Amino acid sequence: MRITKFFSAGLVAAVFTVTADAAVLNVSSNLANNLYLNSNTSGSFSIASLLTPASNYLPPYQINSASVMFSFSDDANDATLTSAYYTAYTPAAITSRLYVTTYTDPSESASVSIGGQSASGNTTYYSAPSQLVGVTVDWNYYANNCPGYYGQPCNHQLMQGSTHSYQSSSGYAGSFNLGYNLDAANLSALASDGILNFNLGRTGDLVLNSATLTFDITENPAVVSAVPEPESYALLLAGLGLLGVTARRRKPGA
């Protein structure tokens, strides 16, 4: 009889054991995508709006793991004129000249800090070769018109010369990503109320392309409906049948 009671209790407990489903979700920050950054700023992630039905997720949430990813890029408007000069244009130095301009793109960097965790990165160095950007006829010179033999006078003739403009640039540009897995302290902070705050630092001006939090969360067992699965019903029926057979055997004359 005692074995039957234990079996019955275990069967019911197994059939009505609460199971919790896990999900991997993504949420963007409260900062707009493609946000121009020319100063340090802060933002946050909030996961509550993604948790449906809300009755299955109650704070403190059961978050198994989480990671963040921030994407930055150069604003493509930073190159400044650092030098400009005229020089002779060979082999026709008499009739043409060069005007060379150089632009430099400064290095730009960003950092992301959440609690005690942080990461930093910067744009990538590049160097573009000089390119011809235009030719103009914009200066005068005097040419000697000589007959070609000794003793004859030469006539000075006013002529026009051309300028070949070349441009070169170098510096830092492009895009980069900053991200990491949240440590135990930040997971606990996120689980407490579903909000994760972060701070962004920068040198220069950048564009924040996107900021994303990815997290693995399990439904709170206390609020998950304890409805048996179809397989559990089959187990329950089989168990009840076995209990009936056992009870009949215990009756006199059975």
- Check: CB of residue 110 under 8 Å from CB of residue 72: yes
Are residues 160 and 112 part of one domain?
Answer: yes
**Token representation of residue 243:** 């209990």
Instruction: Write the DSSP assignment of 213-225 as a string of letters.
Output: EEEEEE--GGGS-
Are residues 216 and 236 part of one domain?
Answer: no
Choose from 40-44, 72-76, 84-88, 137-141 the range with maximum mean pLDDT.
Answer: 40-44
pLDDT at 16: 45
Are residues 159 and 61 part of one domain?
Answer: yes
Q: Stretch 104-124: mean pLDDT, rounded?
A: 96
Are residues 252 and 173 part of one domain?
Answer: no
- Check: CB of residue 104 under 8 Å from CB of residue 171: yes
Give the residue numbers spanning the domain of 230: 1-17+226-254
Q: Taking each helix axis from N to C terminus, what angle separates 2-15 and 230-250, rounded to the nearest 10 degrees? A: 170
For residue 198, what pLDDT band results from cuts at 50, 70 and 90? very high
Are residues 105 and 11 part of one domain?
Answer: no
Are residues 146 and 92 part of one domain?
Answer: yes
Closest by Cα among 218, 226, 182 to 58: 218
Q: Are strands 80-88 and 195-203 parallel, antiparallel or unpaired?
A: unpaired
Whether residue 81 has pLDDT greater than 70:
yes
Q: Stretch 160-187: mean pLDDT, rounded?
A: 93
Total number of domains constituting the chain = 2
Are residues 179 and 88 part of one domain?
Answer: yes
pLDDT at 134: 92
Are residues 113 and 230 part of one domain?
Answer: no
Are residues 202 and 91 part of one domain?
Answer: yes
Whether residue 30 has pLDDT greater than 80:
yes
Are residues 110 and 4 part of one domain?
Answer: no
